[in-house]
Structure 1
Amino acid sequence: MLEVKDLACLRGDRLLFRRFDLALGKGEVLRVLGANGVGKTSLLRLLCGLATPEVGEIRWQGEAIQREREAFHAALLYLGHAPALNDLLSPLENLRFACAAAGDTSSETDCRAALTRIGLARQLDLPAKVLSQGQRRRVSLARLFLAAHRPLWILDEPFTALDVAAVAELAEVISQHSRAGGAVAFTSHQDAGFSVPLRTLDISGYAA
């Protein structure tokens, strides 16, 4: 599904990593590891097409993502490490806006169900500015319950600020996506119990 060949990443005037290769196939779940500053988030941004590699190529279904940008983005769900919320909007309003901006047609009922499942039933209509860090994170992660139609999920530190129950719920959602044929790449400093095989990749070995 996703192929990376001879990738190099430059941040400012610092070369983070080079000669990076990756093949992420249907149904695979990949955990990206590495010390702080080694380039995990930079790698995910490259895989999403949000940044341009210094050298190398990224392909989706055999085509370079730059040439098939629209099709690639239609197949992709990317969640960064920082929740992108409007503090004046409620979790429900934020989620509906995020879905609409991504071109998804999730109904209000679907969004309410997703937020309830992620543990925000009592906060649905509160302004986001009053939410805790963990609650703000959950608003963004609720998109996972509405994105089964997107075969590629790329998630940056999805388990941050979540309690044990939420981590287990999220791990099972990722596992379900894998069993349905989806591919997932994520970074995390936390361990989570998945019900599918988990690949790990430490990018420290590619450091320049």
Structure 2
Amino acid sequence: MSAATAPRLHAEALACRRGLRLLFKDLNLGVEPGQIVWLRGHNGRGKTSLLRLVAGLSSAEHGDVTADGLPVRKSADFRERLVFIGHHNALKDDLTVTEALQFLLRIHGRPSDLATAHAALAALDMGSRRNAFVRTLSQGQRRRVALARLAVEPAPSLWVLDEPFDALDVDGIARLNGLLEGHAARGGSVLLTSHLPLDTARLSPTEINLDAYAAAPR
């Protein structure tokens, strides 16, 4: 990931369907390097579905999502410059904390040596639990381990995060805010959902409310 800034994300008149239901339509979306975009809306409005569209994991009903002018689903360069962390932590219970993080780093093509994993865990204050089994962790601790991936991302990239603040305590929230702030300062970008209020003074997020793009019920 040698690019100097995160990819420029763009979509026009985007619409998303889940089953028989049209979740939203006519959405114009742009995420620029250095920008944090906070995606809001009522439950079931399509926030997670939009994140999956942006990550190239699903197709839109109408419109397309592009990164630097190329469709995200067809751009290998974009996948190298994307970090997607879903609402589920994707940690294996029978691995230690260090092993679980190393596994995540490895499958996403990031440095996964012991020193890198331990430094990332320390950044989320999980160093003392690095040899504990994942099954012994609280939900907040599991979230910290999953988010430790972000501490191994020094290059500007696009972070797509589904409820990253979920289950975090005050200290965890502060540590995540520091990672987000530092990432944007070096030219990275973030698209996230959060049902918890963001520190708008620190992060200066652009807000998009999907309620405004809700498709009229039939």
Name the TM-score, length of structure 2 as normaliser. Answer: 0.92
Query: Secondary structure of 2:73's partner?
Result: coil
Partner in structure 1 of residue 55 of structure 2: 48
Match for 2:152: what amino acid?
L
CA distance in 2, matches of 1:114, 1:181: 20
Residue 4 of structure 1 aligns with which residue?
11
Q: 1:99 aligns with which of 96, 105, 108?
A: 105
**Counterpart contact for 2:124–2:148, Cα < 8 Å:** yes
1:114 and 1:191 mapped to 2: Cα distance? 25
User: Which of 150, 153, 157 is the aligned partner of 1:151?
Assistant: 157
Q: Which amino acid aligns with 1:38?
A: R
Match in the other structure for 1:136: 142
Q: Distance in 2 between matches of 1:150 and 1:52?
A: 25
Over 4 Å off, 4+ runs: none
Structure 1 residue 62: Cα displacement: 1.2
Q: How does 1:51-70 map to 2 (within 5 A)?
A: 51-68=58-75, 70=76
Q: Which moved more, 1:91-100 or 1:116-125?
A: 116-125
CA-to-partner distance for each residue in 1:34-72, whole Å, 9 max, x for gaps?
01111111110111011111110111011111331x111
Question: What is the CA deviation profile of residues 145-196 of structure 1, one whole-angstrom value per residue up to 9, with x for unaligned ones?
Answer: 0012251000000000000111011011101100100110100011232534
Amino acid at match of 2:96: S
| Contact kept in structure 2, 1:76 and 1:150, CA below 8 Å | no
Q: In the alignment, which residue of structure 2 is the partner of 1:83?
A: 89
CA distance in 2, matches of 1:98, 1:149: 18
Residue 179 of structure 1 contacts residue 196 of structure 1 at CA under 8 Å; is this kept in 2? Answer: no
Deviations 1:60-97 (Å, cap 9, x if unpaired)? Answer: 011111331x1111010000011001110011101111
Which residue, out of 110, 114, 123, partners 1:108? 114
1:77 and 1:150 in contact (8 A); partners too: no
Q: RMSD of the TM alignment (CA)?
A: 1.1
CA distance in 2 between counterparts of 1:42 and 1:157 reads 13
Q: Does the alignment pair 1:160 with 2:166?
A: yes
Higher deviation after alignment, 153-162 or 186-195: 186-195
What's the counterpart of residue 5 of structure 2? none
Length, aligned pairs only: 207
Identity of aligned residues (%): 39
- Give 5+ residue unaligned stretches, structure 2: 1-7
What amino acid does structure 1 have at the position aligned with 2:38? R
Unaligned runs of 5+ in 1: none
Give the Cα separation in 2 of the matches to 1:118 and 1:50.
Answer: 28
Q: Supply the distance in 2 between the matched residues of 1:176 and 1:23 (Cα, whole angstroms).
A: 21
Deviates more, 1:15-24 or 1:103-112: 103-112
Paired residue secondary structure (2:52) = helix
